[in-house]
Amino acid sequence: MIELILGGARSGKSRFAEQRALDSGSECIYIATAQAGDGEMAARIQLHREQRSGFAQTIEEPLALAQIIADAMHDSRCLLVDCLTLWLTNLLLAENAATFADERAQLFDVLSRARGRIIFVSNEVGQGVVPMDALSRRFVDDSGRLHQAIAQIADRVFFVTAGLPQLLKGAVQ
């Protein structure tokens, strides 16, 4: 079971995803992709750590997402990945430009044999203006393509606005 939960910044998508994971009745593992590039981000990460008390385990991995999912997935587990856009940012800023393509291919390979439940959270960034700089345009393009590809294989896709989830694909459960 693969779910994709999209929404804008502060839309309530992470809270919705966390509740879905906890309501699954499975052992829940939280996979966080954020990196603390500055003091404000470090504070955000710390706050998120404190808010995850209901999860059996948190794994923080900014780059090797496919490997973490492969190692952690199990029929009786629910993996919550928060978030794909931070993971993409980390990869686009990596020293090796081919890192994203390699990691993306590995992720889809792992998802082709997914077990248990995997919930992805990601920011929908393609509803605004076209960014001025090349890296920002690449980020918007790559995130849009990533979302489309995951939505194609996902059993359920939600879009969250103002804390209200809208089911885009799949049956309500």
Residue-wise pLDDT for 65-103, tens only, equals 999 999 999 999 999 999 999 999 999 998 787 889 999
Catalytic residue IDs = 48
Sheet holding 57-60, edge to edge: 57-60, 27-32, 77-82, 117-123, 2-7, 156-161, 164-169
Residue 147 confidence (pLDDT) above 80: yes
Domains present along the chain, CATH in parentheses: 2-168 (3.40.50.300)
Cα 43 from Cα 33, distance rounded (Å): 15
Q: Are the beta carbons of 146 and 88 closer than 8 angstroms?
A: yes
Residue 18 confidence (pLDDT) above 80: yes
Cα 43 from Cα 37, distance rounded (Å): 11
Residue 152 confidence (pLDDT) above 90: yes
Which backbone phi and psi does 144 adopt, to 5 degrees? -60, -45
Cα 126 from Cα 140, distance rounded (Å): 6
Residue-wise pLDDT for 37-48, tens only, equals 788 888 887 887
